[in-house]
Amino acid sequence: MNKTPAKKVLNCAVLTVSDSRSSDTDTSGDYLRERLALAGHNCVASAIVANDIYKLRHQFSQWIADPHIHVIISNGGTGFARTKSTISAVRPLLDIEIPGFGELFRSLSYADIGSSSLQSDAVAGVANQHHIFCLPGSSGACKLAWEKILEAQLDSRHKPCNFAENCA
């Protein structure tokens, strides 16, 4: 008798990049934490960090060095603006970039927001065996990324392949 393997529970961290959001107004971070919990994962760390390359790099580095964290999902700081810092902060920390993630996200986003999807610099990669996903800050973008990409890819039972099976 073939038994379906148990779903792997991942320890996740959620980083909201914002100069204006607080714990009371962090709707995107709240959404991601809620979805992770509903999917059976643990949100073991969460933070709101100003859109500053060095503060962001510091937070990402702390979580990348933590052996108990498997996945980091950030939201915010990826748009086409002079103040965006997320991608500049995280890209040098990546061991491997997953170019298909940003391409797929922008393709899916195009159906919702048309050519404005070009202004998203969503990116994903792996650093020290931690999977990192950098999403735009809007709740709609976080919902799109979760429902169309992350929910399945963070489920170790998703076939033919998924990111969860490669998490340490």
pLDDT at position 80? 58
Q: What is the pLDDT of residues 85-101, one digit of tens each?
A: 898 999 999 999 998 99
Nearest to 117 by CA among 130, 126, 125, 108: 108
The two tokens of residue 119 are: 């202004």
pLDDT at position 108? 86
Answer positive or negative: Cα dihedral of 149, 58, 137, 117.
Answer: negative
pLDDT at position 78? 63
Residues in the chain with pLDDT < 50? Answer: none
For the entire predicted model, the pTM comes to 0.93
CA angle centred on 55, ends 127 and 19, rounded to 5°: 120
pLDDT at position 122? 87
- Give all domains of the chain, ordered by start, each with its CATH number: 11-166 (3.40.980.10)
Q: HEC states along 103-122?
A: HHHHHHHHHHHHHHHHHCCC
pLDDT at position 90? 95
